[in-house]
Amino acid sequence: MAITEAWSTKIGRKLLKKQHIIDVAAGRKKADLVLKNATYVNVFSAELETRDIAVAEGLIVGLGTYEGLQEVDMSGRIVCPGFIDAHIHLESSLVTPAEFARAVLPHGTTTVITDPHEITNVMGTDGIDYMLSATEGLPVDVHFMLPSCVPASPLDESGATLDHRDIDSFFDHPRVQGLAEMMNFPGIITADSTAVSKIVTSQAHHKKIDGHAPGLTGKNLNAYIAAGVYSDHECATMDDALEKLRLGQFIMIREGTAAKNLEALIPLLLSDRLFDRCMFCTDDKHPSDLLEKGHMDYICRQAVTLGADPIRTVQAACLHAARYFLLNNRGAIAPGYLADFAIVEDLKDFRVVSVYKKGQLVYDRGQVANFPLPQIPAHLESSARDTFRLPHLTPAHLAETRHRGVIGMMPGQIVTEDRGYAGGVDIKQDILKMAVIERHKNTGHMGIGYLNGYGLKTGAVATSVAHDSHNIICVGENDADMAFAANRIAQNRGGIVVVRNGKVLAELPLEIAGLMTDKPLETVNALLETAKEAAYGLGVSRNIDPFMTLSFMSLPVIPTLRLTTRGIVDVMTQQYI
């Protein structure tokens, strides 16, 4: 078929589809689906309205009185637009994107904006391709912000190093919305060409740039925003959020597993002047949270409990993120918008009864509809399951006689303190040895330091989920168990392990890039909770998550001290100590 003929045929099909939409909207034809007597949240007028909602070709086409080929009575229910998570790393769920979709649909989520920097730090651009393939056609729309910091800092050591040329072609993908969280704010405010060139490239494609700048203030914050950074999800205080809002940034109010900022930032939703520049995100969401608390519905429920207006809450959960990311056909119930609906019992508990995606019922009263799994190219699947290259470790590799810095953990936070130096493990003072072991390129690099505040009394804990480069991070009371734990992680091709006296007490293999598994979420959660109890049994403080907290001890962009494969880093000066 000639190009012009094919083009004409494509236009013809679209014309017929559009004519059908117009005919249904005008009442000349029956709709594919009508939600009868629907009380719905009008996010534009900030009110509840009751009308029929007519759907054709996956779109909302009319509000009023309609007849449909399928009609569903919505009496006694509230229809919300499908919820949108403005910033999440899908890998944090520890399961495949398809399994993640199965987990969040019952909570009304129909769209997420993901930053695949976890897997990209392991696999380079193959990681982006893997996630694009693994999310294609899911009943939850997955849009992407391209990783801006691989690795997170020049002092880190990941499986790949990406510059602006490596990500440039991905901006043309229809599900790519822009450049993800620019964590290297020191590079931006010092006008480092490597960091700034990524912003310039994103702007050349007319895309958004998300921020990540905890505590940045004054002229440095001016410089960061002037470079083109539009948002921030790292605000933990109202002072931080207000300064950024006053300088024009949008605020993503984060309530995830690792960081919970909703309560501190709830005044934003209570303010008539500020709430329309705010949206919700989770950032990281572990299996237990997804199963026990929920996803975006949980944030809505918490916001209302804290005093937020219910309709304003729905606006932040839907419309504001859609508007920010220029997803102009979602986030609202109005003609021309996608027929994405979260049907809830009320606007207090936000208990989701059913979910529609593009007019199709994908969740109803406890059951997620079956959907075809995405097809991942064989070479990407194979690469994702072969990402460990490191020598077999012995206790001698971990031996250390020099004094090293002590990273002090802060209760309930992922920021740390500088707590001086130590020359060895001291259980009475809660000082443990910690190691970060390079696992991507068999360099043999290993950073050693000490950790205070973890609570472990014996044995060792290790994981390959070690932000953001995802080397192996291990903490222990003795070198033998630490070496054994690291070797076990490599043997499993990734995951989490708790050991004592050379024996595995509990483990969760994560065979996909050392970050995810294709096991069901319920199975993963059971293994993870068993591992947590094993860690607590070895003395780890019950005030922390043994693995998530540990995973952030290697991220050299969050103050104050972190451990990388080359040693302890002072984040504020970006120098080794």
57, 32 in Cβ contact below 8 A? yes
DSSP 333-389: -STTSB--EEEES-TTT--EEEEEETTEEEEETTEEPP-PPPPPPHHHHHHHT----
For residue 240, the SS3 value is helix
Write out pLDDT tens, residues 206-265: 999 999 998 899 999 999 999 999 999 999 999 999 999 999 999 999 999 888 999 999
d(CA 494, CA 517): 9
Residues of the chain with pLDDT > 90, as a percent, come to 92
- pLDDT at position 222: 98
Which residues 6+ apart lie within 8 Å of 67 measured at CB?
Answer: 30, 31, 34
Write out pLDDT tens, residues 31-61: 999 999 999 999 999 999 999 999 999 999 9
Give the rounded distance of the alpha carbon of 93 from its chain centre: 8
119, 540 in Cβ contact below 8 A? no
- Residue whose tokens read 């222990």: 476
Write out pLDDT tens, residues 428-447: 999 999 999 999 999 999 99
Write out pLDDT tens, residues 482-537: 999 999 999 999 999 999 999 999 999 999 999 999 999 999 999 999 999 999 99
- pLDDT at position 397: 97
- Within the chain, how many helices (H) and strands (E) appear? 19, 28
> Would you say residue 297 has pLDDT above 80?
yes
User: Amino acid letter at 413?
Assistant: Q
555, 153 in Cβ contact below 8 A? no
> Would you say residue 327 has pLDDT above 80?
yes
- Residue whose tokens read 């309709």: 311
Write out pLDDT tens, residues 384-397: 999 999 999 999 99
Q: How confident is the model at residue 377 (pLDDT cuts 50, 70, 90)?
A: very high
Q: Which residues pair with 48 in a beta bridge?
A: 41
> Would you say residue 78 has pLDDT above 80?
yes
Higher pLDDT, 10 or 459: 459
User: Amino acid letter at 111?
Assistant: T
Nearest CA among 302, 328, 361 for reference residue 74: 361
- pLDDT at position 259: 86
- pLDDT at position 3: 55
In degrees to the nearest 10, what's the CA dihedral of 262, 264, 270, 275?
Answer: -60
> Would you say residue 6 has pLDDT above 70?
no
Query: How do the domains of the chain map onto residue ranges?
Result: 81-330, 387-576
> Would you say residue 346 has pLDDT above 90?
yes
Query: What is the architecture of the domain spanning 81-330?
Result: Alpha-Beta Barrel (3.20)
475, 469 in Cβ contact below 8 A? no
Give the rounded distance of the alpha carbon of 513 from its chain centre: 16
235, 265 in Cβ contact below 8 A? yes
Lowest-confidence pick of 61-70, 88-97, 195-204, 552-561: 552-561
Q: Which residues pair with 344 in a beta bridge?
A: 78, 352
What tokens appear for 79 in the block? 């229809």
The whole-chain average pLDDT of the chain stands at: 96
- pLDDT at position 1: 45
pLDDT average, residue stretch 274-278: 97
